[in-house]
Structure formats: C-alpha cells, structure tokens
Amino acid sequence: MTMVIKLLEEGKAPEVILNEALIPALDEVGELYQKGEYFLPEMLIASRAAQRGIDILRPKLIEKGIKATGKAVMGTVKGDMHDLGKNLVVMTLEGAGFEVIDVGANASPDKFIKAIREHKPQVVGLSALLSTTMPSMKETIDTIKKAGLRDNVKIIVGGAPITQKFADEIGADFYGTDAVAGKDFARSVVAVP
C-alpha cells in the first residue's frame, strides 16, 4: 500500500501500477504457490496487500475510464458454510483486475441466478468443501441452464472433494485445482494474456 501511494506520488499512472507492478507481483506469488513454495498464508497476505493497493487505485482507474479486466460471480454452494477457498479465489481474481461479485457461502442457486442476471459476468465460480454439498454444484449448474443463462457464462468449480471427473459429469467448463488455476482460466475467458 505504501509503495502504491509512493508510485502515485511519483506520477506513475494507476493502470501502469496495476498492470506492471501489482498484477505481475501476484502472478509471481501464484507461481510460487503452484510450485509448492508458498502456501495459503503467503497467498492471503500477498492478496491482502494487493487488494489494499487496488483499493487506492480503483477510484483513479474509474476516473480515467479504465474498466475491470472482466467480471466474475463467486460463491460457495448451498449447504456449505466453508468460504476460505472461495475468498482466496475472490482476492486472486481482484488482484488480476477482475470485478468480483461475491454471493457468499451457503448460496442457493437462485442467488447465483440473481447475481448473473444483475451483473452479467463472464465467469461464475462455484466452491464446495464437503462431499455432501457437491450435489448442490450440479443443482446450481442445472438451474443456470434452466434459466437460459448457461451460454452466457463459463463455470469454474473447485474445492477439496472436487475432481475433474466430477466437473465433467456436472457440465462445468473448468475444474480449478487452486485459486491460481482458476484465475488463469478466468483470464483466458476474457482473453487476457
């Protein structure tokens, strides 16, 4: 945060700070996480620091008419109160310049539908940590289909009990093994290199 303020005071453009400092820094943290050198505490501390920097940059970016990289709706599915994984993905996506609508934990399919209709995201992320709440993921995807919104979004699923097989069975577009993988997929959806 201190560094962001210093760079702004030096006259650096907010989008330059975001794209050439914060996002690459978080990408490096993500790489270290995927290599197994950094773990959740390190990811969270880094993401928090980046978020505080982004909070300072956001009004300046809006002022300049610079839009978010993309938009995502994230939530933990109905019946599941765990939100750590979901929160990490939210922070990672925000660190990558996404606008994220967090529908929280224990989110019903209707909550996701409402958020998709209101915010028109490119990406929807579903998280579950309990094997007993995995069916809620299928229910949510089926509800999105029934609402006629399936073709408008790409759906990422993730969480400890989730597997690629399960993701394929329920019709998800991507199985995120971790927050970084989810972010990379979301970026590919909005075609950010």
Partner 1 sequence: MDIELHFDEGRWLKVEKDWSAWWAGETDRSMVMLQTLDTLVNADPSEFSIDFLQHKPSAEVIQYYGARLETVEFYGDAFPKWLPYTGPGIVSGFLGGPVKPSIEHRTVWFQVEKPVPYDELHLNYDPDNIWWRRILELTGTAADTWGDKVALGYTDMGGPVDNLASFRTTDRLLYDLYDYPDEVTRCTGDLTQAWLRYHDEISRIVMRTGRGTLCWTPLLSPGRMYMLQCDFSAMISPKMFEKFVLHDLTVMCDHLDYTFYHLDGPDAIRHLDILLSIKSLRGIQWIPGSGNPGPSQWLPLLKKIREGGKLCQVYVNAKGALAIARELGCSGFAFYILPEEPYTDTELNEYFDLLANPGDFLNAILSESKGKRG
Task: Kindly list the residues in this chain that would bind partner 1 in the complex (CB under 8 A).
Answer: 36, 38-42, 44-45, 48, 79, 81, 83-84, 87, 130-132, 160-163, 166
CA distance 57 to 159: 31
| Residue closer to partner 1 (CB basis): 108 or 152 | 108
| Residue closer to partner 1 (CB basis): 130 or 190 | 130
Shortest distance (Å) from residue 165 CB to partner 1: 9
Shortest distance (Å) from residue 187 CB to partner 1: 25
Shortest distance (Å) from residue 6 CB to partner 1: 22
| Residue closer to partner 1 (CB basis): 18 or 74 | 74
Shortest distance (Å) from residue 52 CB to partner 1: 13
Helices (H) and strands (E) counted in the chain, each on its own, are: 9, 5
CA distance 53 to 46: 11
**What ranges make up the beta strands (E) of the chain?**
71-76, 99-102, 123-127, 154-158, 174-175
User: Residue 54: helix, strand or coil by DSSP?
Assistant: helix
| Residue closer to partner 1 (CB basis): 85 or 109 | 85
| Cβ–Cβ under 8 Å, residues 158 and 176 | yes
- Residue that is written with structure tokens 């069916």 in the block: 135
